[in-house]
Structure 1
Amino acid sequence: MSQDDIVISPTGWVAEQARRYAESGGTRGATIQGAPCLLLDYRGRRTGQWRRTVLIYGTDGDDYLIVASYGGAEQHPKWYLNLLDEPDVRLQVGAERFAAHAQPLTPEEKARVWPGLVELFAPYAEYQKKTSRDIPVVRLRRVAAD
């Protein structure tokens, strides 16, 4: 798949950061307000088209954790809804690109990792207070190359 086959987020700053991140090999655009970020490539649930967004991530062992906060909006972000339908994704973390499998955390798993994610990016706590929905956390686990 070439970079031209991926639809980048329609949100202006996200699109600009995703381009900067990809074009620099992960050396530019790799943080948001001091927190590390990755590129998430996922399939659209209606179109099957590959899409890309930039997300802050935490880690849990060798796995990456992303938060479907959507700034505390009452609805889930579209990328999260797409992952529920098609959990096989591609990541870029720094210069490294690899396939991964997405799995929402159970409430118990989320309770264990949430304090560390809030420490990583303090606005998550405010986002959770702002919305009535439980903000999901997703585990991204590397898939062995074929």
Structure 2
Amino acid sequence: MALSDFMVTLADRTMTWVYEKSNGRIGSRLGKMGMLVLHTTGRKSGEKRSHTLQYMPDGDNYVVVASNGGQDRNPGWYHNILSDPHVHIQIGSRQLTALATVAEPEAYSQLWPRLIAQNSVWETYSRRTTRKIPVVILKPLG
């Protein structure tokens, strides 16, 4: 069973609040996984939105998964980056400007097995939903 919207939103907001208030001292790791805060601009509202996400380093880039807890629709932040791919990310206390791109099929096929090896829950989520869970590459700028 997929997590409810309420639970996903509550967990995300709580984790983001703690991460930001502690300047990344609390919340930058979840088990073996690194965590980052992704700052986007709402595509409809124009307001700043923040979400804490697990990430996988890939060279100079950071890779995140638009799993939305296995729900049948993509998370709001994914739609925001499609509208405006210029984002800010916080990793620990570091603040970076980045460009978000959706992994093309070739990159996806290379990244997905590595992501699953790092966190098998994404494979479970992919079986729960009819959508193909997007993989997003965050490329730091400057």
Q: Same fold (TM over 0.5)?
A: yes
Task: Pick which of 64-73 and 32-41 moved more.
Answer: 32-41
TM-score by length of 2: 0.90
Q: Paired residue for 1:58, among 49, 56, 59? A: 56
Residues 112-127 of structure 1: matches in 2 within 5 Å? 112-127=110-125
Structure 1: 5+ residue runs without aligned partners?
1-9
Q: Quote the residue 2:18 is aligned against.
A: 20
- CA deviations on 1:37-78 (whole Å, 9 max, x unpaired) are 100000000111111010000121110000001122111111
> Secondary structure of 1:19's match?
helix
Task: Give how far 1:33 is off.
Answer: 4.5
- Taking the aligned partners of 2:37 and 2:65, their CA distance within structure 1 comes to 13
Q: Quote the residue 1:3 is aligned against.
A: none
- Taking the aligned partners of 1:23 and 1:81, their CA distance within structure 2 comes to 26
- CA deviations on 1:76-105 (whole Å, 9 max, x unpaired) are 111101110000000000110011000000
Identity %: 34
Q: Quote the residue 1:99 is aligned against.
A: 97
Q: Quote the residue 1:111 is aligned against.
A: 109
Task: Give how far 1:32 is off.
Answer: 3.1
- Taking the aligned partners of 1:68 and 1:137, their CA distance within structure 2 comes to 6
Show structure 1 runs of 4+ deviating over 2 A: 31-34
- 1:109 partner amino acid: A
> Secondary structure of 1:135's match?
coil
- Taking the aligned partners of 1:66 and 1:39, their CA distance within structure 2 comes to 11
> Secondary structure of 2:49's match?
strand
Alignment root-mean-square deviation, CA: 1.3
Q: Quote the residue 2:67 is aligned against.
A: 69
Task: Give how far 1:134 is off.
Answer: 0.8
- CA deviations on 1:87-132 (whole Å, 9 max, x unpaired) are 0000000110011000000011011011111111110011111111
Q: Quote the residue 1:135 is aligned against.
A: 133
- 1:127 partner amino acid: Y
